[in-house]
Amino acid sequence: MKKLTVVVLFGGQSSEHEVSCMSAANMIAALDEEKYDVLPVGITKKGNWRICHGSVDAIREGRWEPYSVDAILSPDASRKSLLKLVGGKYKEIPVDVVIPALHGAWGEDGTVQGLLELAQIPYVGCGVLSSAVSMDKVYTKLIAKAAKIPMAKFFWCDGRFLAETKEKVMDQAEKKLGYPCFVKPANSGSSVGVSKAKNREELEKALFYAAKYDRKVIMEEAIDGREFECAVLGNEDKHISGIGEIVTTAEFYD
């Protein structure tokens, strides 16, 4: 049986570039080499696409670039391939499926999914619309609110004008959310740029910190709860995993 060529796509022009590298390394290590030809493709912080020939540890530790060569994912649906560029020449590598291991706004917001749709290359994860909507926490909240889905109270502001509006923003956040509250970039992951504010001074610092990573800053009330995850594979014919609980120590946020 012919092995499938699986591209694991990682890195990117994102504040969570390093987190993406670690996720990709875990995926590559878990893929069965007897079933798949795994092709790690890293995107540098400058946006350069490169096929990585280094070790999994090199990817995990973020030192993969010296062991890589230039590559381009062709949007041509008749090719369904990567173009490996060496010495002014290119080699076409057919691709069966792509696993995006990108984190943060760049790559999780539907842009890469759109490219893969153009190329007609199957990929793992959400489609273009759900990726874009889910990446922007403000739109996620607005859609959930319209669907009457229970959620934490929230408030958002334009981070570009915080110097002029910070007092008004903090007044509204205190009135609507109270303390403690979480502050985060609207378009990012769940780590970089995120803070827990317990008072007005911490709230001010958190607002400007989050604004470094996105022009929209979202604030949410703190809720003591539990976090569960459940993976769903497939579309019409679904395979549903067991439910797992994510346990995070309180010190992570303090």
Distances (CA, A) of 178 to 75, 155, 173, 246: 48, 11, 7, 26
pLDDT at position 122: 95
DSSP string of 168-187?
HHHHHHHHHT-SSEEEEESB
Q: What is the predicted pLDDT for the residue at 252?
A: 46
Distances (CA, A) of 239 to 118, 180, 232: 26, 39, 6
**Structural domains in the chain, sorted by start:** 4-134 (3.40.50.20), 137-221 (3.30.1490.20)
Q: Which residues of the chain have pLDDT under 50?
A: 252-254
Residue 177: what pLDDT?
A: 97
Per-residue pLDDT at 107: 59
pTM over 0.85: no
CA gap 136, 123 in Å, rounded: 21
Q: What pLDDT sits at residue 254? A: 47
Q: How much is the pLDDT for 87?
A: 87
